[in-house]
Amino acid sequence: MTTVVVIAKETLPGKVKTRLHPPLSLEQAAEVAAAAVQDTLAVVRALPATRRVLLFDGNRTPPGSEDFDVITQIGGGLDARLGALFDEVEGPTLLVGMDTPQLTVADVAPVFDAWTDDVDAWFGPANDGGWWALALARPTGDLLRGVPMSQDDTGAHQLARLASAGLRVGRLPELVDVDTIDDARLAAAAAPGSSFAATLRRVDPESSGDAPRTRTTTEEARS
């Protein structure tokens, strides 16, 4: 029995993916962010989870989240918001964000297929030094509160926190976390059949999607 949580915010111009501007307009950046959320929700719906949660900051929840339980993000820093989430959930819980629209079911399969007695947590590193996924067998917010977030050493700090708590950590693959336009182009090239890639190609002429492909359709991206 595993809970999967997606942390996301309402995709309003000027509030999301502002580092994509320029070259994108703030409106285009919001469109790209909305597509990233859609792709992420699609993958999470395909996972064999017993509960799906949207940890949300905003007023209008995104399409595709109708069957998700919605938890409103508390105020404060990201570490406090994630800490509150992991205090609220029970049982094995996987958290992913909206910044890796190239996510596939295979990327997180170990959380469902290989959560053995010698693994207490799963950690997915991001290319920018952060992390894109964290799964805890016995969730507690103390494992996240106080960890410096949104830095190029956030992943190292989080791993150190898990190690200091005596947890045995399994590794998930490293993924590109979309912050800049170069990140977005890499993520789109990795998932050329995704809504994210199609949206980016429409608003960013340099996103040709001609890089090496690992999947070709949106449905394949979910398997």
Q: Does residue 191 form part of some domain?
A: no
The tally of domains found in the chain comes to 1
DSSP letter (8 states) at residue 153: T
**100 part of a folded domain:** yes
Residue 221 has pLDDT above 80, yes or no: no
Give the mean pLDDT of 172-196: 97
Work out the mean pLDDT of the chain and round it to a whole number: 93
Kindly calculate the radius of gyration of the chain based on its CA atoms and give it in whole angstroms.
17
Q: Are 201 and 31 in contact (CB under 8 A)?
A: no
- pLDDT, greater one: 73 or 116: 73
pLDDT above 90: residue 217: no
pTM: 0.91
Residue 182 lies inside a defined structural domain of this protein: no
In a domain, 207, yes or no: no
Each residue's pLDDT tens digit, 46-96: 999 999 999 999 999 999 999 999 999 999 999 999 999 999 999 999 999
Residue 66 lies in a domain: yes
Q: Is residue 206 part of a domain?
A: no
CATH code at position 69: 3.90.550.10
Whose CA is closest to 54, among 17, 98, 14? 98
| Domain span including residue 31 | 3-176
Q: What are the angstrom distances between the C-alpha of 15 and each of 21, 27, 55, 57, 89?
A: 11, 10, 17, 11, 27
Burial (Cβ within 10 Å: 0-12, 13-18, ≥19) of residue 92 = buried
- Closest to 72 measured CA to CA, from 164, 9, 119: 9
- pLDDT tens profile 188-212: 999 999 999 999 999 998 886 544 3
- The per-residue DSSP string of 114-130 comes to ---TT-SEEEEEBTTSS
Say how many C-beta atoms besides its own lie within 10 A of residue 73's C-beta: 18
In this prediction, residue 207 carries a pLDDT of: 83
User: Residue 169: pLDDT above 50?
Assistant: yes
109 vs 35, 104, 127, 176, 205, CA distance in Å? 23, 9, 20, 18, 34
What does the pLDDT read at residue 216? 33
* 193 occurs within a structural domain: no
Query: Is 216 inside any structural domain?
Result: no
